[in-house]
């Protein structure tokens, strides 16, 4: 009897750049490829083809994407490019003519087709008859937290942004499909759902907030309805998973989710991209200019849910921004007392309307303003974190260290986690000492806060 040696599975490597929304795209592409019979490679050397999921939001991000493509070509040689920068195929080919194929953002079918062409998946006539696994999606995040993308694209026309050009107009997912995915993730071990989109508050606008049946009752494709249903999910152990809302524009209906946070059904955290506070700059940015009203709403939200954490990002050095405008922003921040703040120096992006605006701010002034805004926001953050010393707060564990002996021979284990005020990758951390050896990644524990600095907390399990 002759024995046939089956060919090895074709392997795909992935380099994923940019925001969490792009990470979700990468997960979906890899899940589809695995269902088509591919294996995943953890390094360049083992891959038959490498996918580079690019970011094209800023020129600096494009440079990073081109560098990543170049590295993949140097290390492997067989590279397919996808993602936001895929819209600039000519620029990519000019820098790297060796790339095998280029597709745009969330073009899953085209990416898979390109992989099929350049690394055909056939394992032979018998293996191809075996159904490939499709019930478990590939995750590029740790098992205990997952990004839940509820829509794609954006209907805004902000002067500094080209996202609508890259990802199109708002396209919301069916609410029952979103809830089904969330339920499956929680059942599989997700303890924290991070709800993402380009504009979470606008979810369902494009489909007129259509209703779908879910668990025997109708649910609208609307942020408040979705948030309420997500708050009803339970882990296999019967616990309420953390549900964190990102990219929330402060539309009036956002007020309705604050009571859900106070009830413990949603994580008391809102990521709101304010971008600036000066009415003049906001108008030039083509952003809503209701900063005074927002201050009142922040106060109201904190009265309803005292533990709510507000994170935001701001752009300094936008064309036409004067020292008076910048001082206005600093005063607004002092009054708003936001918990987490990121700041960015304005950077022209090819195709953005802001590039044509008069009175560009000199780079030296941008740097000086960036340093000043970070000084203010770090001071506010340090004071807010110091106020938590002595409190007991819930913390989700992201990493558990190895046992280490101190100078006296005593063995101790440390761990790193996050409070409900900390989203992964972008906010601070909670560093724990003397944790039990049984502590595992994904556990949620009560922690006594012992110390704090400008960004992080330090404590011990209570």
The string of pLDDT tens digits covering residues 158-181 is 887 777 777 788 999 999 999 999
**Taking a C-beta distance cutoff of 8 angstroms, is the pair 123, 168 a contact?**
no
Give the integer Cα–Cα distance in Å for 280 and 325.
8
Token couple for 105:
């953002």
* Residue 312, strand partner residues: 341
Give the integer Cα–Cα distance in Å for 199 and 205.
11
| Eight-state DSSP code of residue 196 | E
Helix (H) or strand (E) holding 328: helix 323-336
* Residue 13, strand partner residues: 50
Give the integer Cα–Cα distance in Å for 269 and 302.
11
Give the integer Cα–Cα distance in Å for 63 and 71.
12
| Predicted pLDDT of residue 129 | 40
| Predicted pLDDT of residue 3 | 47
| Eight-state DSSP code of residue 77 | S
| Predicted pLDDT of residue 125 | 43
**Percent of the chain predicted with pLDDT > 90:** 67
pLDDT value at 4 more than 70:
no
The string of pLDDT tens digits covering residues 7-41 is 578 899 999 988 887 888 888 888 888 878 888 89
Range 106-133 average pLDDT? 69
Strand runs labelled E in 317-423: 340-345, 392-400, 404-405, 411-412, 415-419
* Residue 83, strand partner residues: 54
Poorest-confidence range of 297-306, 328-337, 399-408? 399-408
Domains, the chain, with CATH or none: 11-126 (3.40.50.12160), 145-386 (3.80.30.20), 392-461 (2.40.50.140)
| Predicted pLDDT of residue 134 | 46
| Predicted pLDDT of residue 159 | 80
Phi, psi of 60 (to 5 degrees): -65, -35
Query: Which among 117-126, 158-167, 286-295, 431-440 has the top mean pLDDT?
Result: 431-440
The string of pLDDT tens digits covering residues 207-218 is 999 999 999 999
pLDDT value at 1 more than 50:
no
pLDDT value at 322 more than 90:
yes
Token couple for 422:
């900390």
| Predicted pLDDT of residue 108 | 79
Range 70-76 average pLDDT? 94
* Residue 412, strand partner residues: 404
- Minimal CA–CA distance to 309: which of 418, 199, 458, 201? 418
Confidence of residue 42 (pLDDT cuts 50, 70, 90): confident
| Eight-state DSSP code of residue 85 | G
Sign of the dihedral defined by the CA atoms of residues 17, 23, 29, 33, in that order: positive
Whole-model pTM: value is 0.81
| Predicted pLDDT of residue 132 | 45
Give the integer Cα–Cα distance in Å for 343 and 362.
17
**Cα–Cα distance list, 380 to 54, 427, 453, 456 (Å):** 35, 14, 11, 13
| Predicted pLDDT of residue 406 | 67
| Predicted pLDDT of residue 409 | 66
**Taking a C-beta distance cutoff of 8 angstroms, is the pair 205, 155 a contact?**
yes
Give the integer Cα–Cα distance in Å for 128 and 188.
28
């Amino acid at each position: 009897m002759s024995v046939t040696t089956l060919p090895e599975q074709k392997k795909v490597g992935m380099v994923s750049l940019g925001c969490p929304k792009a990470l979700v795209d990468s997960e979906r592409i890899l899940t589809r490829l695995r269902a088509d019979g591919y294996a995943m490679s953890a390094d360049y050397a083992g891959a038959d083809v490498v996918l580079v999921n690019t970011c094209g939001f800023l020129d600096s991000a494009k440079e990073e994407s081109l560098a990543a493509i170049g590295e993949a070509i140097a290390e492997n040689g067989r590279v397919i490019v996808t993602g936001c920068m895929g819209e600039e195929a000519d620029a990519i080919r000019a820098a790297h003519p060796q790339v095998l194929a280029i597709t745009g953002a969330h073009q899953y079918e085209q990416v898979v087709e390109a992989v099929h062409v350049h690394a055909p998946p056939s394992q032979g006539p018998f293996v191809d008859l075996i159904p490939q696994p499709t019930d478990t999606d590939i995750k590029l995040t740790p098992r205990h937290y997952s990004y839940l993308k509820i829509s794609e694209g954006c209907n805004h026309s902000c002067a500094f942004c080209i996202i609508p050009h890259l990802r199109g107009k708002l396209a919301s997912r069916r609410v029952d499909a979103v809830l089904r995915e969330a339920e499956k993730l929680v059942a599989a071990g997700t303890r924290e759902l991070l709800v993402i989109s380009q504009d979470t508050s606008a979810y369902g606008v494009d489909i007129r907030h259509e209703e779908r049946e879910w668990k025997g009752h109708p649910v609208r494709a609307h942020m408040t309805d979705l948030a309420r249903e997500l708050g009803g999910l339970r882990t296999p152990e019967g616990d309420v998973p953390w549900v964190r809302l990102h990219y929330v524009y402060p539309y009036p209906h956002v007020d309705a989710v604050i009571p859900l946070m106070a009830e413990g059904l949603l994580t008391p955290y809102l990521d709101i991209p304010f971008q600036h506070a000066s009415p003049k700059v906001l108008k030039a940015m083509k952003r809503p200019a209701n900063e005074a009203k927002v201050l009142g709403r922040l106060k109201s939200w904190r009265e309803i849910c005292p533990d709510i954490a507000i994170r935001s990002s701001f752009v300094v050095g936008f064309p036409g921004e004067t020292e008076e405008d910048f001082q206005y922003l600093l005063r607004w921040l002092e009054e708003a007392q936001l918990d987490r703040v990121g700041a960015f120096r304005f950077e022209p992006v090819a195709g953005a309307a802001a590039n044509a605006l008069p009175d560009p701010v000199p780079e030296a002034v941008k740097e000086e303003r960036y340093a000043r805004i970070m000084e203010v926001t770090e001071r506010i953050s340090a004071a807010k974190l110091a106020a938590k010393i002595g409190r007991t707060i819930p913390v989700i564990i992201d990493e558990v260290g190895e046992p280490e002996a101190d100078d006296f021979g005593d063995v101790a284990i440390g761990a790193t986690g996050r409070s409900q005020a900390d989203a992964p990758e972008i906010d601070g951390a909670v560093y724990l000492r003397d944790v039990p050896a049984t502590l595992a990644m994904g556990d949620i524990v009560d922690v006594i806060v012992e110390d704090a600095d400008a960004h992080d907390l330090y404590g011990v399990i209570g």
